[in-house]
Structure 1
Amino acid sequence: MAAKMADAVIPPRRNAQFWEDGHARNSAVLLIKHIGSSVWKKCVNSHQCSLSETAMYRCKQLMGDKLVSRGFNKQHIEAIIKVKVLNRMTGLGMPEYQGNS
């Protein structure tokens, strides 16, 4: 995450305590204690994380949780193929819009 300059949006436990000074998790714990967990989740857009976790769960259930290929380049291609298959399946399940003609 540091290489992508991203922030972790992992909700701390209900009884979370502060870690050492300057740790990024401390700000989340402090905000949750002041504004509440549900408001914090809305502020950091936690719902998007939940959607991505659900999508990964579906992908693993349909296509297995491991890559079969051994080489990195082949694993990369295998992962791309799995994503394209999942996107295609999702597209087929979408309802088609029929306008009033």
Structure 2
Amino acid sequence: MRSSRRAATPSRGRQTAPARGPRNEALRAIKRFGRTLWRKWSGYHRRSRVEAKMNCMKLLGPKLMSRNFDRQTAELQVRIAILNRFTALGIPVTQPIG
């Protein structure tokens, strides 16, 4: 007679993969302490700002156009100046009243 029990393998959604561990820990911390506190504790806000800057850098062009090293250096300096200008435009200027 054949047993009707299946092998004790976890279901597809329950499998434990090494990549899920840090994500699950982050979700537990967010649930316990709140998203704002978790961002400060984990440094997530810094990572997201860097990713946004890199995205802007890629929008200026995925590759350097120049072949000469000195010209590549100048091209990168121009891109950085443009990014700094964008950043300066996005920062509010506050002045005290009275």
TM-score class, shorter-chain normalisation, is 0.5 to 0.7
TM-score by length of 2: 0.56
Aligned partners of 1:96 and 1:48: how far apart in 2?
22
Q: Any unmatched runs of 5+ in structure 1?
A: 1-13, 18-28
Q: Work out the number of aligned pairs and report it.
A: 73
Amino acid of the residue matched to residue 18 of structure 2? A
Q: Any unmatched runs of 5+ in structure 2?
A: 1-15, 30-37
Aligned partners of 2:75 and 2:17: how far apart in 1?
41
Percent identity, please: 29
SS state of the match for residue 36, structure 1? helix
Aligned partners of 1:98 and 1:45: how far apart in 2?
29
Task: Pick the aligned partner of 1:84 from 78, 81, 84.
Answer: 81
TM-score by length of 1: 0.54
Structure 1 outlier segments of 4+, above 6 Å: none
**What residue in structure 2 maps to residue 15 of structure 1?**
17
SS state of the match for residue 68, structure 1? coil
Aligned partners of 1:36 and 1:59: how far apart in 2?
32
Aligned partners of 2:18 and 2:45: how far apart in 1?
21
Deviation at 1:53, TM superposition (A): 1.1
Q: Deviations over 1:60-90 (max 9, x none)?
A: 22x1121111122221221111011110122
**What residue in structure 2 maps to residue 56 of structure 1?**
54
RMSD: 2.9
Task: Pick the aligned partner of 2:69 from 43, 68, 72.
Answer: 72
| Structure with a larger share of its residues in helix | 2
